[in-house]
Amino acid sequence: MLQTAVRPPAGPAPRRARLLVSPGARLALLVCLLAGGAAAVVAYEPHRLLADGGWPPQLGVAGAAVLFGVAYGLCTAAFVPRPVLNLAAGALFGTQAGLAAAVGGTVLGAGIAFALGRALGRDALRPYLRGRWLAAADGQLSRHGFRSTLAIRLFPGVPFAAANYCAAISRMGYLPFLAGTGLGCVPNTAAYVVAGAQAASPTSPAFLASAGFIVVSALAGALVAWRKRHRLRAAPAS
């Protein structure tokens, strides 16, 4: 006579384990990590430490630039403003090495934020993408990942960290996101790096050109953002 095995009822330990890996718990962990990173930035001001330099002399310029790029990526993931780090990169390493360190740090920071958002926040937040505008933005990012990321990076008015975590919620792949970030961040990053490298000569053509590019791009970004906001407000009325 066959006996049917009776599965014992699940105890509190498996339930706790499922709760710890649930989407809500992972989202809470992401919020705690971001809050802790922001608090550490406010308390310790790591961007000032980067700007002051103080690298071990045995590293050389190349090694110091690599170390700066790694620290740059960690700082941007913790919401340190990129313009401050770009100026510091130019002042410390000059135009070429500073630009390489800043672009590498930008891609690293974007990758860290994207990975955190994808692993910890995506499952909990995707069910809320039901609005018409949110669904349209998600579809654009998912279907045209590289092109969308490139446009976001070229547009100076989009906050860097916000774009990273929003992209992580979409279905965009890692490679299009990182490639679009690396290519799209070059113009604006280069302007800040050149300005930092030429800060000692504020009347030089290079400094004036970079400062002019920064001002014009910021004004253009503000104008485009204002027009987009005006159109979004007028859409429901029409």
Range 65-79 average pLDDT:
90
Per-residue pLDDT band at 166 (split at 50, 70, 90): confident
Per-residue pLDDT band at 134 (split at 50, 70, 90): low
Range 3-28 average pLDDT:
63
Per-residue pLDDT band at 197 (split at 50, 70, 90): very high
Mean pLDDT lowest for which of 125-134, 175-184, 202-211?
A: 125-134
pLDDT for 10? 54
Instruction: Please check the confidence at residue 131 and state whether its pLDDT lies above 80.
Output: no
| More confidently predicted of 136 and 159 | 159
Instruction: Please check the confidence at residue 232 and state whether its pLDDT lies above 60.
Output: no
Distance, in Å, from the CA atom of 12 to the CA atom of 4, rounded to the nearest integer, reads: 24
Residue 203 three-state SS: coil
pLDDT in tens, 73-127: 988 988 888 999 999 999 999 999 999 999 999 999 999 999 998 888 777 777 6
Tokens of 98: 């500073």
DSSP 11: -
pLDDT for 225? 65
pLDDT for 21? 63
Per-chain mean pLDDT for the chain: 81
Distance, in Å, from the CA atom of 110 to the CA atom of 157, rounded to the nearest integer, reads: 17
Range 133-158 average pLDDT:
80
0.85 surpassed by pTM: no
Residue 131 three-state SS: coil
pLDDT for 193? 96
pLDDT for 12? 61
CA 141, 147, 149, 151 dihedral sign is: negative
Q: Are 141 and 148 in contact (CB under 8 A)?
A: yes
pLDDT for 141? 79
pLDDT for 238? 46
Best CA proximity match to 104, nearest among 73, 143, 130, 131: 73
pLDDT for 53? 63
Tokens of 225: 């953002």
Tokens of 195: 């300005």
pLDDT for 47? 63
Tokens of 41: 């930035």
